Amino acid sequence: MKKLLHVLFIFSLMLQLAEAQQKPQYTQYVFNNLLLNPAVSGIENYIDLKAGYRSQWTGLQGAPVTSYLTFSAPFGSDFVRGDAAAMSPGNEANPYSHLYTQNYQAAEPHHGIGFMVVSDQAGPISTTNIDATYAYHLGISSTFNLSVGVAAGLNHNSLNIADLSLENPLDPVIANGNNSQWKPDLSVGIWGYSSNYYFGVSAQQLLSQNSYFTTTNASNQAKTVPQYFITGGVKLFLSDDMTLMPSALLKILNPEPVAFDINMKLAFKDRFWIGASYRNQDSVAGLLGFNLSSLINVSYSYEYSTSALRTVSNGTHEIVLGLMLNNKDREISPRNSW
């Protein structure tokens, strides 16, 4: 029975890749929106370095495993020198406090640069994305910022034939296929943000590419399709020390049904937070995070599947480690990417 489930799982993965190759899923994207939108590059007044690891559907052989490294930094003398720190009243204000909102000022116009490497392994199929990102941030009003961004790079897909159990190991449909492919990658996005709300729209995988490994004629119809993300969030101040931050994500990928996430984060000052997430017809998750210092933050999430996969998997684990380098203002928590 387990072997049958494994075969069906691998088959479904290959069909999914053929119909519309999807980017990896994340539970904690809300704390690292660079994964979805290049317009957040350089949004903070320090170098933001994050490493993440996600083990999806643990206990199920061949289930997806994703790891990533992202880098984001402001670029421009005015912003880097600290002039844009005027957007806060200084280190005395917790970004999750009402006082921070009252004294908020938009950042100085500046550039942002970034880099990300995402590796995703699902059964015999592995995908690696390598992208450089750029964004330009502009204060539209005294309290509202708007940025536009682009990400460009390469996408590598490979099929490990050794992981496949074939009736004919030398099947020419597989053995003579293109089992290692490099393709160009392009994404764009916009991001609007203030002290107590944000919204963003982005599109990934804009360059349509063949996405197949076999030599059959039908495989010529396998093309990648654009993926669209619409997201937004707000801060609701419950007290001087507690802030509730609901957010949502809408994902549009043809021919898949429209999917959405609803997230809730409760922060205690700027040191500790807990949260929950719901993905329609897929999963629920619990989240926990600590801002340990002005250098290090760490977060963890556990995701429980609400689909039929719950009968064969032990849930999904995801952990993210963040470093805030060149943090001259000694900020404990992010001011704009919450």
pTM above 0.75, yes or no: yes
Please report the pLDDT score of residue 206 as a whole number: 92
Task: Report the C-alpha gap between 71 and 68 in whole angstroms.
Answer: 10
Judging by beta carbons within 10 Å of its beta carbon (0-12, 13-18, 19+), is residue 31 exposed, middle or buried? buried
- Say whether domain 2-325 belongs to CATH 3.90.330.10: no
Report whether 280 contacts 259 (CB < 8 A).
yes
Q: Where are the domains of the chain?
A: 2-325
Spell 262-271 as b/e; 16+ CB within 10 A means b: ebebbbebbb
pLDDT, tens only, 15-72: 444 444 578 889 999 889 999 999 999 999 899 999 999 998 887 777 889 999 999 9
Higher pLDDT, 95 or 165: 95
Judging by beta carbons within 10 Å of its beta carbon (0-12, 13-18, 19+), is residue 238 exposed, middle or buried? exposed
pLDDT interval class at 176 (50, 70, 90) = low
Best CA proximity match to 236, nearest among 227, 245, 224 = 245
Contacts of 31 by beta carbon, 8 Å cutoff, 6+ apart: 289, 299, 320, 322, 337, 338
Please report the pLDDT score of residue 162 as a whole number: 66
Please report the pLDDT score of residue 12 as a whole number: 47
User: In this structure, which long-range contacts are made by residues 308-313, counting pairs with CB atoms below 8 Å and at least 24 apart in sequence?
Assistant: 309/57, 309/60, 312/5, 312/57, 312/59, 312/60, 313/57, 313/58, 313/59, 313/60, 313/63
- For 48, the token pair is 């933001």
Q: Which of 39-53, 67-81, 99-113, 169-183 has the lowest mean pLDDT?
A: 169-183
Does 124 have pLDDT greater than 90? no
The helix/strand count (H/E) of the chain reads as 4, 15
pLDDT, tens only, 306-338: 887 777 778 899 999 999 998 888 888 888 888
Amino acid in position 307: S
Amino acid in position 5: L
Higher pLDDT, 275 or 93: 275
Judging by beta carbons within 10 Å of its beta carbon (0-12, 13-18, 19+), is residue 32 exposed, middle or buried? buried
